[in-house]
């Protein structure tokens, strides 16, 4: 079995009022735009703080709380991320981390080998989208309806389960799958070419809980590291393991 470098689960607790102030100063929040995409703001801030070391995929927990936390997977531990931020981040970014205090970021090493036959629970929030043959990103349900030339009658949960199964790492088997929540959400994106322009897209967001069986002992870690589906850099696709 090929040895892989250590994977860490990272927990970050930034000072959110300072993070939002940083976002306003960088044109990511506007008084003229009532919508706020916390996933995009977090993506931009993580890149500003940690560069290429930024956790991905990640998930924001407690978005409605006064101080949400960010959970994500990274190949570097908390000490390495703190050192990077202290060395290279702008002062306004570092201020959101209490000056780089160790209390704002923690990490734990993930077990790198899981025995074949092990059954694990999981939870994740994913963006259930596909690319069409023309390169357009759409709701996986709409893509399947177009493929079957069928406007009605498709079961959303069945289509999404098939979509999810296709995004399992080889060596993992889906045993149970439940779609606990579904909603269509608006998410902010920016063009890469300068001047960068902001636009909004609609994403089918689903929360999934279920169980997987590990058939190959090195299959789980790549799945955790890559995440599920698209938009993993913006708060989707992080798999949280459950007993």
pTM: 0.90
* CATH number where 213 lies: 3.30.70.1210
Domain tally for the chain? Answer: 2
Residue 12's domain spans which residues? Answer: 8-109
d(CA 138, CA 204): 9
Q: Are residues 171 and 128 in the same domain?
A: yes
d(CA 2, CA 69): 33
Q: Are residues 77 and 161 in the same domain?
A: no
Q: Encode pLDDT of 150-181 as tens digits.
A: 777 889 999 999 999 999 999 999 999 999 99
Domain end among 109, 136, 161: 109
Classify residue 2: in a domain, yes or no. Answer: no
Structure tokens at 155: 């079961």
d(CA 138, CA 201): 10
Residues 6+ apart with CB under 8 A from 132: 138, 143, 146
> pLDDT (tens digit, 0 to 9) for every residue of the chain, 243 residues total?
445 689 999 999 998 889 989 999 988 887 777 788 899 999 999 999 999 999 999 999 986 666 789 999 999 999 999 999 999 999 999 999 875 566 689 999 999 999 999 999 999 999 999 988 777 899 999 999 888 887 778 899 999 999 999 999 999 999 999 999 999 999 988 877 777 788 888 999 999 999 999 999 999 999 999 999 999 999 999 999 999
Domain end among 91, 109, 127: 109
- Three-state secondary-structure class, residue 131: strand
């Amino acid at each position: 079995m090929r040895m892989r470098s250590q994977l860490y689960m990272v927990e970050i607790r930034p000072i959110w009022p300072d993070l939002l102030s940083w976002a306003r100063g960088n044109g990511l929040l506007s008084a003229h735009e009532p919508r706020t995409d916390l996933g995009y703001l977090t993506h931009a801030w993580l890149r500003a703080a940690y560069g290429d070391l930024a956790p991905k995929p990640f998930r924001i927990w407690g978005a409605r709380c006064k101080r949400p936390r960010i959970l994500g997977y990274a190949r570097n531990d908390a000490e390495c991320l703190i050192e990077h931020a202290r060395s290279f981040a702008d002062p306004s970014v570092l201020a959101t981390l209490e000056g780089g205090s160790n209390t704002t970021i923690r990490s734990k090493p993930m077990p790198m080998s899981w025995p074949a036959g092990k059954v694990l629970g999981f939870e994740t929030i994913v963006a259930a989208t596909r690319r069409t043959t023309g390169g357009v990103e759409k709701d996986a349900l709409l893509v399947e309806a177009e493929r079957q030339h069928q406007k009605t009658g498709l079961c959303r949960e069945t289509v999404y389960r098939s979509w999810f199964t296709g995004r399992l790492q080889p060596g993992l088997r889906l045993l149970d799958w439940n779609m606990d929540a579904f909603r269509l959400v608006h998410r902010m994106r920016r063009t890469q070419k300068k001047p960068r322009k902001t636009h909004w897209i609609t994403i089918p967001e689903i929360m999934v809980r279920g169980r997987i069986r590990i058939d190959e002992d090195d299959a789980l870690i790549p799945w955790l590291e890559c995440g599920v589906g698209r938009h993993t850099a913006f708060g989707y696709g992080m798999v949280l393991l459950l007993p």
